[in-house]
């Protein structure tokens, strides 16, 4: 009987080699993931986003492996992430890293309370200004405001007028930032997902894996640089070294990282550890 061809991996071979070699060297790992478009498919209605049972189980088991911590760092508010990630054991960072819990005492950006007050006022102004735009939805996070236009045909044809409208509402110290079929009113603070991941990593001495798909994730990729395993999910220009083509490939990466860690736990003491260079060509 002719053997069935082995299915090609959806994860770049170079990334798999480095993840496995790091586990064999006994390096701690901080595995950080955006939520929407990474752990959950993008949904027509933001409130419908959720992890599959498989993703949830893989994330939980990876976080339980020795010398491994998992982190979800998202533009979502913490109150959403607590429900969405319940039972996974992952640490949570909301509002692009402005609030954080699950690794030591809860932390929030020193300006968060004041920014949240401004965000509530901006959300009210945005709802009033867009009430005649059918399909536009305004979502208040904690200190940011997302204006979704995925379900607004007129805006999808040309989103720039909506951007200009929101820019007219933004007070000094705020900006309109792009997202996946949304504009986001964000405070101009020198802090983002990359800063938060560095903050979480500081006491661990761990290698960083960061998987994201959005503009704010790109800011994080640039912040973390090539010392981290930065992975872009989906198309588009990227600063990440590696790319995955969908949520299913994220599950495959979770599986590979988990298997590498479990194999080391099961290996006899004194087993020789592989070494792997971190200087490999980007996978685009």
Instruction: Compute CA 33 distance to the chain's CA centroid, rounded to the nearest angstrom.
Output: 4
Instruction: Decide: 99 and 61 in contact? Cβ < 8 Å.
Output: no
Instruction: Decide: 239 and 230 in contact? Cβ < 8 Å.
Output: yes
Domain map (residue ranges) of the chain: 52-67+84-104+200-208+256-267, 112-187
* Lookup: tokens for 284: 């685009």
71-110 in b/e burial notation, b at 16+ Cβ within 10 A?
bbbbbbbbebbeebbeebebbbbbbbbbbbbbbeeebbbe
Give φ, ψ of 133 to 5 degrees.
Answer: -95, 100
pLDDT at residue 83, rounded to an integer: 95
Q: Between residues 88 and 203, which one has the greater pLDDT? A: 88
Alpha carbon distance 167, 155 (integer Å): 15
pLDDT at residue 264, rounded to an integer: 87
> 79-88, 121-130, 150-159, 268-277 — which is least confidently predicted?
268-277
Q: What is the mean pLDDT of the chain?
A: 90
Mean pLDDT value of segment 31-50: 87
Beta-sheet strands, E only, within 66-191: 68-73, 91-94, 99-101, 107-108, 137-140, 145-148, 174-179, 182-187
User: Residue 213: CA atoms inside 13 Å, Cβ hemisphere, count?
Assistant: 21
* Lookup: tokens for 185: 């009113």
Q: Between residues 45 and 127, which one has the greater pLDDT? A: 127
Alpha carbon distance 37, 273 (integer Å): 35
> What topology is assigned to 112-187 in CATH?
Alpha-Beta Plaits (3.30.70)
Give the confidence band of 276 by pLDDT, cuts at 50, 70, 90.
Answer: very low
pLDDT at residue 269, rounded to an integer: 56
| Predicted model pTM | 0.86
CA nearest to 248, candidates 27, 7, 11, 5? 11
Tens of pLDDT, residues 50-61 = 999 999 999 999
């Amino acid at each position: 009987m002719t053997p069935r061809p082995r299915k090609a991996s959806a994860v770049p071979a170079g990334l798999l080699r480095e993840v496995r070699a790091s586990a064999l060297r006994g390096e701690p790992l901080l595995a950080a993931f955006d939520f929407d478009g990474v752990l959950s498919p993008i949904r027509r209605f933001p409130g419908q986003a959720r992890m599959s049972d498989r993703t949830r189980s893989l994330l939980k088991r990876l976080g339980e492996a020795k010398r491994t911590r998992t982190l979800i760092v998202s533009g979502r508010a913490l109150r959403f992430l607590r429900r969405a990630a319940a039972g996974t054991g992952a640490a949570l960072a909301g509002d692009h890293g402005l609030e954080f819990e699950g690794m030591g005492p809860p932390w929030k950006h020193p300006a968060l309370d004041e920014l949240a007050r401004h965000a509530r006022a901006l959300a009210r102004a945005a709802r009033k200004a867009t009430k005649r735009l059918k399909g536009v939805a305004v979502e208040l996070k904690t200190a940011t405001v997302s204006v979704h236009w995925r379900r607004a045909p007129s805006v999808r044809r040309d989103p720039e007028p909506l951007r200009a409208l929101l820019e007219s509402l933004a007070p000094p110290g705020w900006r309109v930032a792009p997202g996946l079929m949304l504009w986001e009113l964000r405070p101009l603070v020198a802090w983002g997902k990359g800063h938060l991941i560095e903050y979480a990593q500081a006491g661990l001495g761990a290698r960083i894996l960061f998987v994201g798909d959005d503009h704010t994730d790109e800011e994080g990729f640039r912040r973390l640089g090539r010392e981290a395993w930065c992975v872009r999910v989906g198309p588009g220009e990227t600063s990440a070294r590696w790319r995955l083509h969908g949520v299913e490939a994220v599950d495959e990466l979770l599986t590979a990282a988990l298997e590498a860690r479990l194999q080391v736990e099961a290996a006899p003491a004194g087993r020789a550890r592989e070494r792997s260079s971190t200087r490999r060509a980007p996978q685009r």
